[in-house]
Amino acid sequence: GVRPFDDMPGMWKNSTANLFTFWKRGGLENSHEITIENFKTFGPIYREKLGTYESVNIISPDDGAILFKAEGFYPERLTIEAWRYYRKYRNYNNGVMLKSGKAWRDVRITLNKEVLLPAVQDKFVHLLDEVGQSFVKHIRGEIERSGENKWTIDLTQDLFKFALESIGFVLYGQRFKLLEGHIEPETQHFINCIAKMFSFTRPFLYIPPWLLHYLGTKAWKDYLEAWDGIFDFGDRCIQKIEKQIEDGLDVVKESPGVLTTLLMQGNMSVDDIRASITELMAGGVDTTSITLLWTLYELAKQPSLQEELRAEIAAARKSTQGDLVQMLKIIPLVKGCLKETLRIHPIAVNLQRYTTEDIVIQNYHIPSGTLVQLNSYAMGRDPQYFRNPEKYIPSRWLEGDSRYFRNVGFGFGPRQCIGRRIAETEMQLCLIHMLENFRFENSGKEDVQSTFSLILIPGEPIILTMRPL
């Protein structure tokens, strides 16, 4: 028979003691590795309570499929209370990321039409291609400046600028020109604040905001300030466009971005637009840049794979003769690389949903309303679901191996990543241009590990050498 919820193995009976043990095991920055150990100890399902964070954890793709069948009409992921608190504290609206129920669905449907549906994807291709070309030009400039016909660097900051340039062009229809060196202190501050906000949020996952507010620690104030830096810059960008619309400038008519379109439509309130646009801009920086960095790092370790990709790209270019939209349809190995990167180095360590009905997973009863997490990081590294999981093999995504519920880097269903199409297009085009122009070598450590900083980031600098082809 089905076993009751309370029989589930795990550590959920003493949440404060558990949090202490977790902290002693280095859980704050290593939670993803601890999760793997927990699956070894408890099996493919376990219950956990760390402070206020209560969850059921699963690892298998089939169980993931059961979970997402029970996500309901208004899917909800873990409520990050510290994120909600900031909006309340400043009297700002929640955007698409933090809304729930019907309010979420309404803005999500409006936004999907501008950023996610296939019909609009073609519009981005040319914008993102332009930014990809600027990135290559920037690197060529640095190679020339070095006088050594190569450039050895930790690309993180350059990729942050590339990613902000990309999302900015899509949202506002205009270039910041960050890759041409036009970077104001406010812009750099915004970039810094995003990474800080993620990392400062990390310990607050397990503590209720009212307590943090009451204690008023330095960490909590730093955290609130990081969000201020994000919203101040978001407001500046939005006000600039609003002013251009008011002044009837031609630029906004000729190349309207997502923001202009939303303001003209009048489907969403201005405060809702502001909240969601700022979330999209902030969500578009560290995610794609870090995924690109890990990809370049993996390619640097496999020169022959670089050659295979160059051949695929050259053939695609030739057969489509400058039609980029068509070209992006025939580069399966490039796309395999991005899936493979997100398998080994996922931005999100897990996908979570509150169940909306009673379900049974691994023969345990799970009541409706439970937070269940599919641990993508653990799944991606388990030999049960991926052959030779430690090896970076993009072609595994092409044929042969089962792919059922395994490509989960962007989440799943109607609440999956809303930036997915922008991110994919941006990363594909960037990789194409990089591979067409440079050879990469790894000039840093051989096995850089991930660190949990709310999103997974490299635990040590990744140092690459780029040489012109």
Token pair of 19 as six digits: 């949090």
Give 256-267 as a 3 state SS string.
CCHHHHHHHHCC
Torsion sign over Cα 375, 396, 443, 310: negative
Pairing outcome for strands 371-374 and 53-58? parallel
Binding ligand 2DC (rule: CB under 6 A), the pick from 51, 132, 283, 380 is 283
**Residue 274 in contact with ligand HEM, rule: CB under 6 A:** no
Q: 55 or 306, CB closer to ligand 2DC?
A: 55
- Among ligand HEM, ligand 2DC, none, what binds residue 455 when CB lies within 5 to 8 Å by partner kind? ligand 2DC
Binds ligand 2DC (CB under 6 A): choice among 287, 288, 289, 442: 287
454 binds, among ligand HEM, ligand 2DC, none (CB under 5 to 8 A by kind): ligand 2DC
The reply to whether 57 sits near ligand 2DC by the rule CB under 6 A is no
The binder of 82, among ligand 2DC, ligand HEM, none, by C-beta within 5 to 8 A per type, is none
Choose among ligand 2DC, ligand HEM, none what residue 418 binds, the Cβ cut-off being 5 to 8 Å by kind: ligand HEM
Q: How far is the CB of 287 from ligand 2DC (least distance, A)?
A: 5
Task: Find the angle CA(277)-CA(78)-CA(114) to the nearest 5 degrees.
Answer: 25
Stretch that binds ligand 2DC, among 11-19, 20-28, 275-283, 420-428 (CB under 6 A): 275-283
Say whether residue 183 binds ligand 2DC (CB under 6 A).
no
Site string for ligand 2DC, 446-465 (x = CB under 6 A): --------xx----------
- Distance CA(342)–CA(438), nearest Å, equals 23
Among 283, 336, 380, 394, contact with ligand HEM (rule: CB under 6 A): 283
Of 131, 282, 324, 430, which one interacts with ligand 2DC (CB under 6 A)? 282
Residue 406 and residue 105 in contact, taking contact as beta carbons nearer than 8 Å? no
Neighbours of 319 (CB within 10 A): 11
CA distance linking residue 238 with residue 235, whole number of Å:
5
Per-residue tokens: 417: 């990543």
Binding mask 400-429 for ligand 2DC (x = CB under 6 A): -----------------x------------
DSSP-based three-state secondary structure for 160: helix
Cβ burial of 358 (10 Å; 0-12, 13-18, 19+) is: middle
Nearest CA among 465, 122, 169, 164 for reference residue 323: 122
**Residue in 96, 97, 127, 313 binding ligand 2DC, rule: CB under 6 A:** 97
Give dist(CA 314, CA 201) in Å, integer.
43
CA dihedral 94, 96, 102, 106 (to 10 degrees): 120
- Pair 466, 167: CB distance under 8 Å: no
Query: Shortest approach of ligand 2DC to residue 66 CB, angstroms?
Result: 19
Q: Which pair of structure tokens corresponds to residue 36?
A: 């793997």
Would you say 138 or 411 has its CB closer to ligand 2DC? 411
Task: Please name the residues in contact with 315: beta carbons below 8 A apart, sequence gap of 6 or more.
Answer: 330
State which of residues 417, 431, 454, 456 lies at the interface with ligand HEM (CB under 6 A): 417
Under the binding rule (CB under 6 A), the answer on residue 96 touching ligand HEM is yes
Binding-residue pattern over the window 327 to 356 for ligand 2DC, x denoting contact by CB under 6 A: ---------------------xxx-x----
Binding residues with ligand 2DC: total (CB under 6 A):
15
Rounded-to-integer distance, Cα 384 and Cα 407, Å: 15
Contact segment (CB under 6 A) with ligand HEM among 181-189, 197-205, 282-290, 356-364 equals 282-290
Q: Are strands 151-153 and 464-468 parallel, antiparallel or unpaired?
A: antiparallel
Q: How far is CA 220 from CA 79, 85, 150, 210, 451, in A?
A: 18, 11, 43, 11, 21
* Binding residues vs ligand 2DC (CB under 6 A): 77-78, 97, 205, 279, 282-283, 287, 348-350, 352, 417, 454-455
* Binding residues vs ligand HEM (CB under 6 A): 77, 96-97, 108, 167, 279-280, 283-284, 287-288, 291, 342, 347-348, 351, 409-412, 415-419, 422-423
